[in-house]
Chain A
Amino acid sequence: DARVTQTPRHKVTEMGQEVTMRCQPILGHNTVFWYRQTMMQGLELLAYFRNRAPLDDSGMPKDRFSAEMPDATLATLKIQPSEPRDSAVYFCASGPTPDGTVNTEAFFGQGTRLTVV
């Protein structure tokens, strides 16, 4: 049963601490997305990777957020230093590489619920 796996599921941290969230995309999927969900903003795209290369991270606050894909089986989203306004649920999604003719679904992980106090 292929699925996107995110760890940790829940994280409570103090303001100023570094937070790292991890995502294991579905094997064979070449596109990875990071989303943030809050009550006020809904789902917002933070970053997008294709074949491990970042294509768009314009939705991410650059001063404190960073997203990487060290290898094809791991994507990370790091916040340093964390702030209370970063409290949200962070979702990772993966999908097969769109090649211009194939329409693909996005498969979402269960999310990491981050609380910064």
Chain B
Amino acid sequence: KQEVTQIPAALSVPEGENLVLNCSFTDSAIYNLQWFRQDPGKGLTSLLLIQSSQREQTSGRLNASLDKSSGRSTLYIAASQPGDSATYLCAVKGSGGYQKVTFGTGTKLQVIP
């Protein structure tokens, strides 16, 4: 059974700081890994999708890396802004059968102006 862990559960940083969110998974047989952002009371917004054959993806100030063999992914946010405050979730899609998606419990980020 795939288990996805995100550390830390909560993070508070001053505006302008670079930060790293961590995601680890127990089964390396994955199809892809996706990072989402969730604002309070809202749905999930996809940030980055990394295919199993890729090592990283970049979008603006965001960079996500994937090390399948060690079961880890990181989301790097450069020059954080108050608007980045949200909960960040990673989700792993398995490569077997119906490719079940397993979510981590998230990291709640607060960027202080």
- A interface, CB within 8 angstroms of B: 33, 35, 42-43, 45, 48, 50, 55-56, 91, 93, 98, 103-111, 113
Verify B43–A56 contact, CB threshold 8 A.
no
Majority SS at the chain B contact face: strand
Q: Is the interface of A mostly helix, strand, loop or mixed?
A: strand
Chain B interface residue count: which class?
20 to 34
**Cβ contact within 8 Å between B98 and A45:** no
Give how many A-B residue pairs fall within 8 Å (CB-CB). Answer: 51
Whether A45 contacts B32 by the Cβ 8 Å rule is no
B46: contacting residue among A91, A105, A109, CB under 8 A: A105
Which residues on B are within 8 Å of A, measured CB to CB? 31-32, 34, 36, 41-46, 49, 51-52, 89, 91, 93, 98-106
* Complex Cα spacing A33 to B32, Å: 17
- Chain B neighbourhood of A33, CB < 8 A: 101
Q: Which of B31, B101, B103, B105 contacts A103 (CB 8 A)?
A: B31
Beyond the given A105-B46, A106-B91, could you list 20 further A-B residue pairs with CB under 8 A, ordered by the A residue number? A43-B89, A43-B103, A45-B100, A45-B102, A48-B100, A50-B98, A55-B98, A91-B43, A93-B44, A103-B32, A103-B49, A103-B52, A104-B32, A105-B34, A106-B93, A106-B101, A108-B43, A108-B44, A108-B45, A109-B43
* Known contacts A42-B103, A42-B104, A45-B101; A91/B44 CB under 8 A: yes
Q: Report 26 cross-chain contacts, Cβ distance below 8 Å, ordered by A residue.
A: A33-B101, A42-B106, A45-B101, A45-B102, A55-B98, A56-B98, A91-B43, A91-B44, A93-B44, A93-B101, A98-B31, A98-B99, A103-B32, A103-B52, A105-B34, A105-B49, A106-B46, A106-B91, A106-B93, A108-B36, A108-B43, A108-B44, A109-B43, A110-B43, A111-B42, A113-B41
